[in-house]
Structure 1
C-alpha cells in the first residue's frame, strides 16, 4: 500500500451566494481546513471571534464553494488499483476528477473512498470538490420530510449530518463551516487491502488478555482472486490465518498471559501494547494496521436498589467514582486544533483531578490525537453518538447516513482503552418527554429508534465489550411508574433548573445517582474578554448596565437571558456590582462557588451518587460560558475551586438535615488517618470553641463526623466562621452569605518577589479572607497562576506562583485588579438584581 497526501495546490472559490467583494476571487486553500480559515489567512474577512464579526459573516450560510487542485499521477502499474480517499468532507459535496463525477457526499462524520483507476492515465487531471450550502440543503430536506422541533430553531442542524454546534449554540458562534476538514490522499494497492479491523479486547479471570481481531478485506478486482494471509501480533503473541480466494473476512484470536491492566487516572497505571495486523500474499506485504490497545474490562452497573436505579462505572471489576467534564470542540474551526493543544487541555483536566471526559453529541467524533492522549493519561471517554437536543427524522436519506457514520466511528474508536461508554445522544429522549415536542411532532418520527435500537444494535454487533446507554439523561428499564428520562433517582440526570431559574444552593436538595450534566456560567479571563470584545462604540466595557446590554457583548453571551441569570445568581451571595470590572470578578467568583458547592455535595454521597460530569471543560471561542478553561487556554477561577473540591483527599463542612457535618472524602487506595480539628472563631481569629477528633477514612470511601452544637452554633452569624483542618486539608463554613458577613474589605498582608520562572506572591490573612485569587493575565498575556479561590481564616498564609516570561512590577501583583478577594466586593457600589425577561427556557446544555 502506497500513500500520497493530496495537500498542496488547493484553491477555493465562491460559486454561488451573495459574497462581499473582499471575499470574491480565488484563494489559496489549506487542506485540511475550512473556507473561513482560508479567507482569514488571505485577509479577506475580519477575525470571526472578535467583536460583532460573527454577525458580519452570515453570508457564509448560503454560499457555495469549489475546492480545486491538480493531480499529476503516474498511470497504474499492471494489477494496481488507485483510490482517492477523503477522510472528511464538510459537508454536502460533489466530487469530480477530470470532469467525471466520482460521487456525492452529505455527511461530515464519514470518510469517502473512490476507485479512480480507470481515470489515471499519467496526464494531469483537475480534482474539484463542489460544496453546496449545508443550510440550503438541510432546509430543502426539512421541507420534504416535515419540520421537527429542536433547540436553536429555526436552524436546521437536525436535517444534515454536520457538527450541530456549527449552527451556533448557547456557548458557541453561528459560523457554518465548509471545507475539506480531514486529510485527502491517494492510495495505490494490489490484490487486497485491509478494509476494516476490529480488535475486541478483554481480560479473563487468570489475568490473561484476550484479543479477537475481526477483519475484513477488500479485493482489488483487477486480477484473479487468490488466497491471502493475515497475521496479528501483540506482546510477542502471534496468530495467523489464511483467507481463501472466495472469502473476505477472518478472525484471529490471541491469548496473552499475565497482561498488565490499564486503569483510569488515580487507580493505577496505563500500560499500552502495540497491536499490529499485516496482510500478505506470499512474501509480499500488501497492507498493515497498527494501534495501541490496553487490557481492561469496563461495565456500568444499572441495578435497582433502595434508592432507585444505580449508574456505577466499573473498570476491571472495581467501582470508579467518576469525576468528569463535558467536552466540546476546542475551537469552532476544528481544523486548527493541534495535538499539542489537545494535550494541554487534557493535562488541565488531569490537573483538576478529573478522570473522565464526555464527548458531547453536538460536536464531532474527535481526532485520533484526542483518544490516544486520553489512553496515555488514563482519562476515560464517554462517547456520545452525534445527536443533540433535537428531534431527528428517521426517514431516508438521514437514517442510512446516521447508521453508516455510527458503524464507521465505532470501529475507528474501539481500539482505545480509554473509551468507556457509547451513549445514544444528548437530551433527545428528555426533550421528547418535557419540551412540548409530542404535540409538534403529531406522530412524526423523531429519533427514538436511533437511541433505543439502531445504536444499541451497532454497538452490540461491532463493539460488544462496551456498555451502551440510550441517552443522557436516561432512566434504564423505563416503566409507566418509572418513565421520566431525567429522574435523579434512576440512571443519569441533568440538572439545569439550577442556572436557569434556581439558586445554586439548590444543588444539595437532590441526590442524583449520576449527574451527567450540571453547570454555572462565568466570564472568561479579563484579557481573553477584552482582547476580543469591545463596546459597540469601540471603547472598553465599563458600567454593568451598559456593558451587559451592549449588542457586541451579547454576541459573546449566547445564553437566553444569560446576563440576567448571572445577576440574579450573584445577588444573594456577593451582590451585583455596578462597575463592570467588579461585576466580572463577582460573576467568576459566583461560578466558582456554585460548582464547588455541587461537587462537594455529589462527592459526599458516594457511592449513592456514583459520578458527575460538569458542563463544561473547555470553550471554542471567547464567550461568557460554563467552561472551566476559556478559549485562550486560561483557567477561570472555577477551575481552581473545582480542583480543590475534587482532590483525591478532600475535606468539606456541609449542612445535612440542618446539622453541620464534617465530610472527609478519600478516593485513594490507602486509608486516611489523623487528628481533625474543628473550631468556631471570629472573622478576626478569636477562638470560641474547638473540637478535636481522631479520623480514619477507609480507601475509596467517605466519612461523616457530626460537628457538636457548641461548635456549630454561632453567637454572631455575621462575624463568625467554622474552620476544619485535617492532615493538611482545610475547609471553612460561613453561617451567612457575603452580603451579610462583616468582611474586612482589605484583609491581607501581601508581598511579591521575583523567582525562577516568574513571581511568588505571599499572603497572610489579618482577618478572614475568602476567594483569594490572582489574575495575572491583567499584567501579561502568557502569565499563569498555580492556584486560586483560596479561603484563609485569620492568621493563615498562602503562596501563589505566577509563571511568565514578561517583566512585571511585583507591586502590581499585590493589589487589585490583579489580586482580588470576595472581601473587597463588600465595599463596592451595587445595583439591584435584574428581573427575569420572561419564562426561563429549560435549555439543555446549555
Structure 2
C-alpha cells in the first residue's frame, strides 16, 4: 500500500522507509495456525481468516459451494491460534522506538510477544498499536495471537444483563454484524488477522494524524488549515513542510498538535459524478529537522462544501444535500461487504465496484451499517470518481448494550475510523446505525421479549447514550463544521407510518415485505428514499460456479441455501405471475426474474425522480453481494451486471424522459439533474411491433437546470382505436437519440409479441450492430468469455439499429429475448 501512495518511499526486503521512520511487514513472514489444544499446525495466510486458511489447507470444502455452509458452523465455536517467528537484527533494535501495529484483529484476540501478553483486543474495527521495543530481542522473536470464539464471548456478555436484546450474541460483539447471517448473506463468523500486521521503527518523531479544514473557499482562493498531530521523544525544533511551504515549530516531549495554513489560488472544486470533475489536489506533509526527513504522509484533497438541508415546508420537512451551493438529487445504492471473507477483497475489487457505480450514472453509495468500514482504496476510488458516500457506523437492526466498557470501545472505534476517513471529499454524511430506531418503535420487540417498563427504559437510555450522545459528541471533537453532518439512524421513521414520507430519510418496504404492487412506489414517495428493493436471480453462469448442474432446481438443498430470505422465491414468483408469463425452463426463469427486478426498480427510481424537489434522493437496496446468491443486488458477487444495473444506468441519466400512467392520460415528465438547461423538439410516437407509426406528436420543451416537470399529457381516449397489446409509446430527443430514447409498454404481461429475427453484425473486434425485423423485447446478450456489453437487457424496435461496445473481443454471442421464454 505504501509503495503506491508515497512516491519517495524506499522498499528493501519488506522494509518501507520514510526518512527516519520505516516499516517491516510481518504479514509476509511464515505464519501457522491451529485449533486451540491441537498440536498439528498448518500454513496460514496473513491477512486472512480461519475459514479461508482451513479451505486452503484442504481441511474443509469450499464454504460457498452447495450447502457446505451448514457443515461449517462448528468453526465459529472454536478458539484458534496463529503464530510466527521473525528475526530482528541488532541495527533494527537500536531504533529508539518500535511499535507493533495490527490494522485489524477479528475479534477477541490475545497477543503474546516472546511469551508475554502484550495486548488484549476486542474490536474488529479498531487499529491496535503497542510500544514493543522492550519485548523484542536480537535474533529470533515469537509472535502468537490467540482468538477466542466471538460467538461464545458474545453469549457470555449476553448473560451479564437480565433481559434479552434482539439478535442475542451478535450485538455484544464489535465485528461485522452480517457475518452472523442475513437475508442475503451466509453465516460465517470469522476469526483471524484480517488486516496487515507490521513493525514501525521510528526515532525522534512521527506523524500520528493529519486533518484539514476549509477556512475560506471562493472562486479566487481557498485557504486550508492543516492540523498535524506529531509525537516526539524529546523536546525538539522541527520544520513542517506542506508541499513547498515550510514553517518552524518548537515541540514539547510527547504529543503536539500544530496548525499551518495553505492557500490555493483560483481553486477548482470537487464535484460529484454527473455535475463536473472530481478535482483533487495532492499534498505531501513532511516533518524535518535540519533538512533531514523524519516522517511524511500524503493526502489528496477535494475542495467542496456540502450541506444537509432540513427546512419545514407545507408537507413536512425537506431532506436534501447541497454540494458547492447546488441542490443535488442523490442517485445510487446501498453497499454490503464485497465478500464474506474480507481479506480476499483487493483494492482492484473496490476500484471496480466504484467504476461500476459511476458507469451506472450514480453519485452516491451508502456504506451499510451491518458490514464493515471499507478499506482506504474504496474511499480513494470514490474521491477520484465523484461518488459521495453515506457512511453508516457499524450497527444494524437491533438494540445494543450501553455499559461503560462497551461505550468506550465504540468511542475508540469511532475515533479510529473518523480519523482515517475524514479527509476524503467523498464522505457526505455520518449515520449512527441502520434501522435500530425503527426496529425499536415498529418491530414489536418490547412484546416479543416481554420487557418490563424498567427494561425498556434501560434499553432506550442505552441507545440514546451511544447514538444521541457519545457518537455526535465524539464527531464534534474530531471534525470541523463543514465535515460534520450526523444523522442518528436510517431511516428516521419506519415505513409503516405516514410521517416517514414527510420528513427525514425513508426505507420503503411495502414492496417485497408488504407484497404491494410495484405501482405503489408511485404513491409512496418520501423526501429521501435511502432503502427499497426487490430480488432477482443472478445469471446461470454465476450459480453454476457454486451449485452442481443437477442441483439447479428449486427443491435442492444446495439451491435453497443460496437464497437467504425465508420466502424469497415464493415472493419472486408471486410478483412474476402478476407481470410476466412465468417460464417453465430454469434458465429462462432466472432471466425473467431479472427483468422483474429491473421493472420494479425502474418504477421506483423514476417515481422518486419525478417527485423532485419533494424527493431528493433514491438509493436502492442493494448494490453488490458478498457471495453468489439470489438477492436484491444489481451486481452479482463476481461483478456481473444484472438487468437492474443496466436499468439503473438508464433511469439515473441526468436528463430523463419518464412516462407514467394517470387515471385519464399518459404523462411525459422531463427530469433534468444537470446544471445546465436543455431545450428542443421532443418526438413522441406510438409504434406497433412491426414498426408502423400509429400516432405521432412533436412538442417543443425547455428543461430548466435542476428541474422536474410534466411537459405533455396524452389523453387515453387518443389511443382507443389502437391495439395497445401490440404497441409501444416511444419518446426521443433527436439531437441525442442514441442516448435519449425511452419506451413505454402498456400492461407488459399482456403484450402480444412475435418471434423476432435478431441480426448481429460485427463492426470490429469490440463493436457490434444489432437489429431486428420486429420488436425484440428485453434483448439479453451473453458470451462464454465473460465479455461485458455496454448495453444489455434492452428493447429493440423493428428495424432499429443499435451499436453496442464490448469490453473485449468475442467469437460467439448468444442472444435471448422475452419471446424465447414464452414456450
Q: TM-score, length-normalised on structure 1?
A: 0.88
Match of 2:725 in 1: 718
- Structure 2 counterpart SS, 1:304: coil
- Map 1:688-703 to 2 at 5 A: 688-703=694-709
- Structure 1 counterpart SS, 2:80: strand
1:79-123 CA distance string (max 9 Å, x none): 701111111111110000010100100101001111111122313
Using the alignment, how far apart are the partners of 2:654 and 2:771 within structure 1?
Answer: 26
Cα distance, 1:666 vs structure 2: 2.2
- Map 1:419-568 to 2 at 5 A: 419-439=427-447, 440=449, 441=451, 442-443=455-456, 444-445=458-459, 446-464=462-480, 465-466=482-483, 467-474=485-492, 487-500=500-513, 501-534=515-548, 539-541=550-552, 547-568=553-574
- Map 1:599-610 to 2 at 5 A: 599-610=605-616
- Structure 1 counterpart SS, 2:409: helix
The answer on 1:216 being equivalent to 2:229 is yes
Using the alignment, how far apart are the partners of 2:592 and 2:258 within structure 1?
Answer: 62
Match of 2:335 in 1: 327
Q: 1:660 to 1:248 in 2, by over 3 A?
A: same
Contact 1:523 1:624 in 2 (8 A): yes
User: For 1:229, which of 235, 238, 257 is the aligned residue?
Assistant: 238
Q: Provide structure 1 residue ranges, at least 5 long, that are not aligned to the other structure.
A: 542-546, 829-846
Give the total of aligned pairs: 786
User: For 1:257, which of 265, 279, 283 is the aligned residue?
Assistant: 265
Contact 2:232 2:253 in 1 (8 A): no
Using the alignment, how far apart are the partners of 1:791 and 1:773 within structure 2?
Answer: 9
Cα distance, 1:380 vs structure 2: 0.8
The answer on 1:295 being equivalent to 2:303 is yes
1:482-530 CA distance string (max 9 Å, x none): 9969702101000111111212221111221110111111011110012
Using the alignment, how far apart are the partners of 1:240 and 1:316 within structure 2?
Answer: 34
Cα distance, 1:565 vs structure 2: 0.7
- Structure 2 counterpart SS, 1:358: strand
Contact 1:228 1:280 in 2 (8 A): no
Q: 1:712 to 1:161 in 2, by over 3 A?
A: farther
Q: 1:80 to 1:717 in 2, by over 3 A?
A: same
- Which shows bigger deviation, 549-558 or 682-691? 682-691
Match of 2:121 in 1: 105
Contact 1:96 1:103 in 2 (8 A): yes
Q: 1:107 to 1:228 in 2, by over 3 A?
A: farther
Q: 1:523 to 1:649 in 2, by over 3 A?
A: same
- Structure 2 counterpart SS, 1:177: coil
The answer on 1:45 being equivalent to 2:60 is yes
Using the alignment, how far apart are the partners of 1:483 and 1:583 within structure 2?
Answer: 32
- Structure 2 counterpart SS, 1:510: coil
- Which shows bigger deviation, 458-467 or 585-594? 458-467
Cα distance, 1:243 vs structure 2: 2.3
Contact 1:11 1:26 in 2 (8 A): no
Contact 1:326 1:614 in 2 (8 A): yes
Q: 1:657 to 1:196 in 2, by over 3 A?
A: farther
Contact 2:758 2:776 in 1 (8 A): no
Using the alignment, how far apart are the partners of 2:113 and 2:280 within structure 1?
Answer: 42
- Structure 2 counterpart SS, 1:640: helix
- Map 1:344-423 to 2 at 5 A: 344-423=352-431
- Which shows bigger deviation, 496-505 or 372-381? 496-505
- Structure 2 counterpart SS, 1:718: helix
The answer on 1:796 being equivalent to 2:803 is no
User: For 2:818, which of 818, 822, 831 is the aligned residue?
Assistant: 822
Cα distance, 1:805 vs structure 2: 5.2
- Structure 2 counterpart SS, 1:31: coil
Using the alignment, how far apart are the partners of 2:154 and 2:498 within structure 1?
Answer: 29
Q: 1:797 to 1:15 in 2, by over 3 A?
A: same
- Map 1:5-154 to 2 at 5 A: 5-16=25-36, 25-75=40-90, 80-146=96-162, 148-150=164-166, 153-154=167-168
Using the alignment, how far apart are the partners of 1:485 and 1:104 within structure 2?
Answer: 48
Contact 2:104 2:124 in 1 (8 A): yes
Contact 2:232 2:254 in 1 (8 A): no
The answer on 1:591 being equivalent to 2:597 is yes
Cα distance, 1:287 vs structure 2: 2.2
Q: TM-score, length-normalised on structure 2?
A: 0.91
1:443-495 CA distance string (max 9 Å, x none): 232523322222211222211322111111126xx9xxx99697021010001
Q: 1:207 to 1:109 in 2, by over 3 A?
A: farther
Q: Provide structure 2 residue ranges, at least 5 long, that are not aligned to the other structure.
A: 1-20
Cα distance, 1:246 vs structure 2: 7.5
Cα distance, 1:290 vs structure 2: 1.7
Using the alignment, how far apart are the partners of 1:634 and 1:657 within structure 2?
Answer: 39
Q: 1:483 to 1:742 in 2, by over 3 A?
A: closer
Contact 1:87 1:184 in 2 (8 A): yes
- Structure 1 counterpart SS, 2:666: strand
